[in-house]
Structure formats: structure tokens, C-alpha cells
Amino acid sequence: MKMEFPYFKKGAQSFPIIDVQLRTRDSSITLKALVDSGASFSVFRHEVAEYLGITIEKGNKIYLEGIGGRILGYIHSLILVIGDMGYKCKVVFSRELTVSFNILGRDNFFMPFLITFCEKDKKVIIEKND
């Protein structure tokens, strides 16, 4: 399985943003997220958790640190679907995430895939890692 996603253009910049679906037992949502090889965890805005009926604070508490400082989040496990492949993935929901994009980080999201960033062609290629 090989999927190619063109970069998302925002102003003069282009970003490796893909469509993903998050699923719980009772609901699902499809949204865009930045494939971020510099992020340790996948982090989504609190509105996504609320839409899915997830009580954020019931997850495992974690503090995430990066260039933007430190934010509080809560780890939850749910099904993430990319293309036609779904698998259980750890996701951090945070009320303090202020960046424009939801983030797909290395821990857990990257595991089943080979991910190639083609800057010249402005696309990201995601292949199943057998």
C-alpha cells in the first residue's frame, strides 16, 4: 500500500498535511493533520476530543515541551485511519495546543509506515512498512 499526499499550501508556504480519520467506539471525525517528524507525539486540539465525546482529563496526563514552550495534554488510545488502513494509535489531546494544525508525531503514528517527504515535488509518500 502506497499513498501520496500533495502538500497543503498556506500563503507562500507548503506543509505535509494529510487527511486522517479518528474513531472511537461511538463516533468518528475526518480532519487534516501535519505529518511532523520533529514531534514525538501526535497532538490534537481539544475540540476534536469534544466532538468525539472524549473527556480529555480521563487520559494519562503528560507535559509536552518544544520550541513553543510546554503544554499539558492527556494521552488517549483510539483508532486512526489513513487511506484504508486503521490501527490503534496513541493521541494526545490538549486544551493548550495553539498551533494551526493538528500534529501527527513519531511515537505510534510513524510505526507502521515508511514516510518520505519530497520537498522538491511538494508531496509526502506514506507506505505500509511490512
Domains and CATH numbers, the chain: 21-117 (2.40.70.10)
Which triple of cell numbers denotes residue 79? 483508532
Per-residue model confidence as pLDDT tens digits over 60-87? 999 998 776 788 999 999 999 998 888 9
CA atoms within 13 A on the CB side of 86: 11
Sort strands 123-128 and 17-23 into parallel, antiparallel or unpaired. unpaired
Per-residue model confidence as pLDDT tens digits over 23-66? 999 999 999 999 999 899 999 999 999 999 999 999 999 999 87
What is the model's pTM? 0.91
